[in-house]
Amino acid sequence: MHFFQKFIDRHTLGVFFLLVAGMARADNTPPAAIDAGLVQSTRSIAGDLLGQLGQKLKAAMSTDGPVAAVSVCKESAPAIARQLSITNDAKVTRIGTRVRNQNMGVPNAWQKEALTQFEVRLSQGEKAPDIEYWQVADNGHGKSELRYAKAITVQPQCLSCHGAAQDIAAPLADKLRIEYPDDQATGYSVGQLRGAVVVTRPLP
Ligand code: HEC
């Protein structure tokens, strides 16, 4: 299957009421029309997850330290994602370029494509907050869905838990090893692509 993906400049969004998602199947299925408002609201769901999680993480790191903050990532991240999923009739998750939680963070095929493309765009100098991807595709049951991903890059405050393995202090390293025996999500440096927030929504 070949999809044409269209990336939109967020600043031009308000100008259009309707955008053609630009996605056509190789079998000439007509491109799906998609309301720009829906893309905008999907973008805000992703932003909400990052915002809420960032706040919680920051608070936990400063009051309780990184060992305790692991539970924010382990429990609050999926809880916030679940809540946003229910409220918005969407599926909200986080994925990683290299993954810590092998049950939740592993990208599927289209998400891998998005990550690969994000790496290229980052290396071409595009600013991380502007990097997003979306497409309209069949959900596997004959209905359309909107698939949206927003790049997550590594900030200095991520390094205590995602930086070089040898720099992670002993109690934290032990905790991570126990909770995530297959952890791949260390060895990152600031500015690198860490993963994406993914929002999938059924379309009418
Ligand atoms: C206190 C330690 C800690 C800090 C600080 C931290 N993380 Fe994580 N991160 C984790 C843990 C633990 C998980 C696994 C969560 C789970 O079980 O779903 C995780 C998972 C993730 C995932 C989901 C994919 C995966 O690998 O499972 C992403 C994306 C992510 N972190 C990005 C970041 C970013 C970006 C920052 C900085 C803004 C950050 N993290 C800071 C501990 C941390």
pTM of the entire structure? Answer: 0.85
Q: What is the mean pLDDT of residues 173-178?
A: 96
Query: How many angstroms is it from 154 CA to the middle of ligand 1?
Result: 10
| CA Rg value for the chain | 18
104 ligand 1 Cβ < 6 A:
yes
pLDDT in tens, 85-135: 999 999 999 999 999 999 999 999 999 999 999 999 999 999 999 999 999
Q: Quick one: average pLDDT of 165-193?
A: 96
Percent of the chain at pLDDT above 70? 84
Going from the Cα of 95 to the center of ligand 1, the distance in angstroms, rounded, reads 10
Other CB atoms closer than 10 Å to residue 18's CB: what's the count?
9
Task: Determine the average pLDDT of the residues in 30-37.
Answer: 67
- Classify the phi-psi angles of 200: left when phi > 0, otherwise alpha if psi is within -120 to 50, otherwise beta: beta
- The CB of 197 under 6 Å from ligand 1? The reply is no
Q: What are the respective helix, strand and coil percentages of the chain, to the nearest 5?
A: 45, 20, 35
Q: Confidence band (pLDDT; 50, 70, 90) for 32? A: low
Tokens of 116: 């690969």
* Best probe residue, ligand 1, of 70, 71, 73, 182 (max atoms within 8 Å of C-beta): 73
The ligand 1 atom nearest the CA atom of 78: 18
